[in-house]
Amino acid sequence: MRLLAAALLAAALPAYAQDAGESRELIGQIGGRTALIYLYVTPRTDGSARLNGEYLLLPTLQQRFVEGERSKQLGVTFLKEGNSPILYGRPGTATLQGTWSSGVLKGTRYAPGGQLREKFEFSETFPAMDGYSAQVHCESAADRYTATLAFSVEQGKLKSLEWRSKVAPAGHTCALGELTQQAYSGGLRFAADRCMVTMRDLGDYVRVAAEDCAKYCGSQAYLEPVLVERGGACQLLRPHPR
């Protein structure tokens, strides 16, 4: 499954109440560590919301799963943290308690016994990449999946991009190229029909992710998000197999 992220903004609660759910992602810090958090929000009729998702600590790619809720009043947020995507009935490794409003999620992370561990703060606003330049050609692999990514970007403008993947043993493939750049705040975005490729600055990495690109893939093929290091090496975003 693809990683999902969600944010529930206080000003938008009436609109969310009419939706089945929405996904968002935020970048920030837990203690002194950079982290990327993905949450999915399920609105409730009383204006509160159910939240679930995960966060990744960068650059170690340590992964933690979370679930909890956000209140209608003041955006008070409580998230139980664990090592498994199924947290119900299992002991948590920590809790994140704070508020979520105006696109910012911040608060304190506590140990299971209630001891204060560290502060955290996340934002929906990602750095601009208007000045980003890179020439990248790299390979990445995990289990049955292999991929090659090559792109050239100069001062935030796409010169070329080719992204191919293959999944064994069926040998189904994906192949992307001939993308058109689109206006996009908080990163760079390129499109081919409905297929979107997005680059975002995560500090030590640039993340490259594809969305709605099934048209360019075989039935069992897919394009895993990739983290591109500043030196040009690549690794898959998720630390666990698909």
Q: Judge if 81 and 149 occupy the same domain.
A: no
Whole-model pTM: value is: 0.81
In a domain, 242, yes or no: no
pLDDT at 19: 52
* Domain around 194: 134-236
pLDDT at 90: 81
Question: How many distinct structural domains can be found in the chain?
Answer: 2
Q: Which of 191, 233, 182, 236 is nearest to 210 (CA)?
A: 191
pLDDT at 231: 87
Q: Judge if 176 and 81 occupy the same domain.
A: no
pLDDT in tens, 112-137: 999 999 999 999 999 999 999 999 99
pLDDT in tens, 158-205: 999 999 999 999 999 999 999 999 999 999 999 999 999 999 999 999
In a domain, 129, yes or no: no
Q: Residue 117 sits in a domain of what CATH number? A: 2.40.128
